[in-house]
Amino acid sequence: MAIMSTLLTSLLILSFLSFTTSLSSNYYAKTCPNVESLVRKAVRDAATSDKKVPAALLRLHFHDCFIRGCDASVLLDSKGKNKAEKDGPPNVSLHAFYVIDNAKKAVESACPGIVSCADVLALAARDSVVLSGGPSWNVPKGRKDGRTSLASETLQLPFPTFNISQLQQSFAQRGLSLEDLVALSGGHTLGFSHCSSFKTRIHSFSPTTDVDPSINPSFAASLKRICPVKNAKNAGVPMDPSSTTFDNKYYKLIFQQKALFSSDKALLDSKKTKNLAANFASSKYAFRKAFIASMIKMSSITGGQEVRKNCRVVN
């Protein structure tokens, strides 16, 4: 029964997603040549006043691509009885939607009805990495925006509690490899995590131990001080000590037993993923190269049908 359920889930996901060859880095060369500079300005302006914006935009893009492909369905607002993706349990902490609104407004003013919200989000994610000191890359463009957004489908996202088998399956369902898994996990070098995402590792981990034995004891103690059993709703910690800088410290922390999520620690539970993580920990160049390739691959999963005028509502 479990095997049949897994198969049906995989087929459902694959029915939404496709890798397309219609994307092109010069897709708007004639129809909206300034699109990249317009999006970049909106991201830079927002990041100047809020250092959390780059991490938020990168996470938005990832959460968008993993449901129905990179179709900006995560940007749609709930309407009536339809609860949209952004209001699904894993997405309630997503933010910085206003940055995409501002970028889209600027783009619509220059090139009305031409550039999709999905492309704006993909560009904003790239610009967020660059503004954080990370690498740049040519973003393939030409995505379309989706018309469907369901909160219930957000349960298909990989959870911070996933083990390596669950992670591998989740990525494979989207045509992504183990190298993609390890490289894209490096996005955790940016941002902030609420205690709820890792509390099971530091409180009542098992019937015999309160704390996950794979966590560095002093690190676990510091987490417990910040995240007591009855913690404040918004309590949490930076993903790593340099959480506004795109670097490879995330991988070094994994080997120091200072990973926040079970899914981060899980990268050490497979020989291949452990070797990849070790390579990225020792070589910033290797990480950047792999991250660029995996971001382009993930962002090329498409599934939309239109170009929205307003990213929050279908046309």
Show which residues are catalytic.
63
Residue type at 164 in one-letter notation: I
Say which residues have a Cβ less than 8 Å from residue 137's Cβ, sequence separation at least 6.
126, 292, 295, 296
CA distance 124 to 94: 15
Say which residues have a Cβ less than 8 Å from residue 12's Cβ, sequence separation at least 6.
none
CB-CB contact of 300 with 112 (8 Å): no
For helices 178-185 and 164-172, the axis angle rounded to 10 degrees is 110
String of DSSP letters for 267-306: GGSSHHHHHHHHHHHH-HHHHHHHHHHHHHHHHTEE---B
With b meaning 16 or more CB within 10 Å and e meaning fewer, what string describes 162-190? bebeebbebbebbebebbbbbbbbbbbbb
